[in-house]
């Protein structure tokens, strides 16, 4: 989609909040403050809400991580927020919470955390981590959620 379809809801420290029309979604997003290496793409962490076409919500506060490097397909991906650890499901360079309950637990941890990191092993065999500052994350998540309510 062209960038024109994306509406900014605000920037809160290192997190931004946006809405898109196609596909309809509202999300908070940040780039890592430290990434596990150079890549051909821009790594990010996002928390998105996907409204249903006739009102309601398909998914609320859904985690999506774009890793900074392609991972070894045999490697686990772990998200750490403070003392909490969450095992994610992952593709080649993306990771998600395995279910809505984990999404909710991750968002709760983000709201009270200072930083989070995503750790795994690269396709080349070395471990790496992408680290995110969480200041402003709760406000960006709330702004994104409100953006979806206003669109309905």
Architecture of domain 3-151: Sandwich (2.60)
Query: What is the average per-residue pLDDT within 112-123?
Result: 96
Higher pLDDT, 107 or 53: 107
DSSP for 43-77 reads -EEEEEEEE-BTBSEEEEEEEEEE-SSPBPTT--E
Alpha-carbon gap, residue 85 to 106, rounded angstroms: 9
Question: What is the dihedral angle through the alpha carbons of 101, 150, 9, 102, rounded to the nearest 10 degrees?
Answer: 0
Closest CA to 74 of 131, 35, 125, 128: 125
Would the pLDDT of 151 be above 70? no
CB 11 within 8 A of CB 142: no
Q: What is the pLDDT of residue 59?
A: 79
Tell whether omega for the bond before 23 is within 30 degrees of 0, i.e. cis: yes
What are the tokens at 145?
Answer: 């959620």
pLDDT tens for 25-49 read 899 999 999 886 666 778 999 999 8
What is the pTM assigned to this prediction? Answer: 0.88
CB 123 within 8 A of CB 77: no
Closest CA to 105 of 88, 128, 92: 88
Would the pLDDT of 3 be above 60? no
Would the pLDDT of 110 be above 90? yes
| Percent of the chain with pLDDT strictly greater than 90 | 70
DSSP class of residue 88 equals E
Would you list the domain boundaries of the chain?
3-151
pLDDT tens for 58-93 read 778 999 999 999 999 999 999 999 999 999 999 999
Count of residues in the chain? 152
Higher pLDDT, 39 or 143: 143
């Amino acid at each position: 989609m062209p960038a024109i379809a994306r509406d900014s809801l605000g920037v809160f420290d290192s997190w931004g909040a946006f809405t898109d029309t196609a596909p309809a979604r509202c999300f908070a997003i940040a780039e890592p403050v430290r990434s596990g290496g150079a890549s051909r793409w821009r790594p990010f962490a996002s928390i998105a809400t996907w409204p249903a076409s006739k009102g309601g919500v398909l998914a609320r506060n859904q985690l999506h991580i774009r890793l900074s490097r392609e991972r070894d397909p045999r490697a686990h991906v772990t998200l750490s927020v403070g003392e909490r650890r969450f095992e994610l499901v992952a593709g080649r360079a993306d990771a998600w919470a395995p279910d809505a309950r984990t999404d909710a637990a991750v968002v709760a941890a983000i709201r009270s955390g200072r930083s989070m990191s995503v750790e795994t092993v690269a396709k080349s065999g070395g471990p790496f981590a992408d680290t995110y500052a969480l200041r402003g994350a709760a406000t960006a998540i709330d702004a994104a959620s409100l953006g979806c309510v206003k669109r309905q």
